Structure 1
Amino acid sequence: MSAAPRFVYDVAASACGGLRTLVAGVEVLLRASGALWIEKRRTLVAADLHLEKGSAYAARGQMLPPYDTRETLGRLEREADALSPDIIVLLGDTFHDRGSEARLADDDAERLRSLARRSLLVWVVGNHDADGPAALPGEVVDELDIEGLRLRHEPQDGPQPGELSGHLHPCARVVASRGSVRRRCFVTDAERAVLPAFGAYAGGLNVRDAAFAGLFARPPIAAALGASRVHAVGWRSLGPD
């Protein structure tokens, strides 16, 4: 009996350095910033910004440079400038904790309001920010459908064709003959995708971790973020931490 044919992923490099691929038949662009672009609906998606994580740690006595929110919002603004989205979806855990919005510097809050004046800003709630923003503009939702894709913060168990999620902060350790490198990544099996954390101070979980087990119908690929390009990496080239 012959073996089942190997699944071939439909992945193509883009001029911007990203990767174009299909999720449940819908074309998406995986960008080097860690954001995802749905061209057909002019929708920009970014997960797990964890704004004000630095100030949360400082309040507990662990002093980190207090620039994470500024850096994260700067990258989001550059994505908005490059793409002019109609919709910006923040895919949960946009704030690091329930007090983060109150700790925002005035100019950082104004940057979020400015984004909302340019695009419809949609706040998907996550486990760190279950109530959504109190004073900032935009729509607060548990999840939403766009072009047949289901956008939610936390991936659900079992087959979930079309699901785009965050929460797990995927990272890939790419193993080669000369050593290995660890990078944030998208991870997808062409049916669903988990986005990398967009926040400057957000950590990462190796895609070989048990938390990813059972999410994918076939061995997924990692789309690892480089300085200006996204690199498609097969499952066999990924190692544990």
Structure 2
Amino acid sequence: MTMPDHKPERKPDQKPEPDQKPEPDEPGQETYAARAFRALESAGASVRVQAALAVGTDPDPRFVGKLVERCAVEPEFHVREMLTWALTRHSPSITVPKLVGELRSERAQARSQALHTLSKIGDGQAWPAITRALLTDADDEVARAAWRAAVVLVPEREKPGLAAVLVTQLGRGGPETRLSLSRAVIALGERMMPTLQAAMAASDPQVRQHAIATERLWYDPDAGFESAIEEAKRVAALGTTSQDE
């Protein structure tokens, strides 16, 4: 008697090995895409991160919308990082427009994670979407992500204009937010210096101290931010800057 061909059964949640393409879906069976979508919404963070890893390992345009959707609501940092990685594995021609669309979301996490992912993709077509509204967003996480994305995406000729917007945020937030802003300003290179030096003479002491600390970090990148701030306080109190010393 001839036995019928029989494929080994694959468990519903089993993902293909990194070098293995998904087997064709048989009629009546749940599709691989549907299983991946379900896994990305699993209650278990370990399942979600493995699903994102599998989707990024074997990129497929069908997954991009779901990955972007999950970025907006995923509660775990390490899972969000894997979602971002998975998106970077897909074509920017597909991912960038969808991520740019998220920048208009009312959900802060959607905006911040989209900005973070755009900074990792590094495709300049996203630059026009990095608006002043995002760079000055009331949510610190969104603003910080916008600063990081902006310095990656900005064309050389537009660096002075970006610096002018960034210095309006000097003195904002706590130490982490201020350090993020200092790093973004410094990343613009020499083109930011005239704008930064103008801020060093600001009437607001918080702005002035932050600007001076940023200049200190520019000249001494190994200096800690806290020590740069303390030095900035001393300099501001004495009314001197590096230009005067």
Shared topology, TM-score over 0.5?
no
Q: Which has the higher helix share?
A: 2
Query: Whose radius of gyration is greater, 1 or 2?
Result: 2
TM-score (ref. length: structure 2) = 0.28
Q: Which has the higher strand share?
A: 1
